Amino acid sequence: MRIIVDADGTPSLKEIALISKINNIECHMFCDYNHILDVEYANIHYFDEGFQSVDISISNFLKENDILITQDYGLAVIALSKKAKAINPNGTIYTNDNIDNLIEQRYLNILNRKKKIKTKNIKKRTKETNEKFLENLEYLINNLF
Per-residue pLDDT of the chain (145 residues; tens, 9 = 90+): 999 999 987 888 999 999 999 999 999 999 887 777 888 899 898 887 777 778 899 999 999 999 999 988 889 999 999 999 999 999 999 988 888 777 777 667 667 777 777 766 667 778 888 899 999 999 999 986 5
Strand partners for 27:
3
- The CA distance from 30 to 37, in Å, is 10
Q: What is the pTM of this model?
A: 0.85
Which stretches of the chain are DSSP H helices?
13-22, 53-61, 73-81, 99-114, 127-143
- What was the pLDDT predicted at 127? 87
Q: Could you tell me the CA-to-CA distances from 109 to 52, 76, 101, 121, 145 in Å, in that order?
A: 21, 19, 12, 12, 34
- The CA distance from 31 to 112, in Å, is 30
- What was the pLDDT predicted at 122? 67
Pairing status of strand 93-94 against strand 85-87: antiparallel
- What was the pLDDT predicted at 115? 78
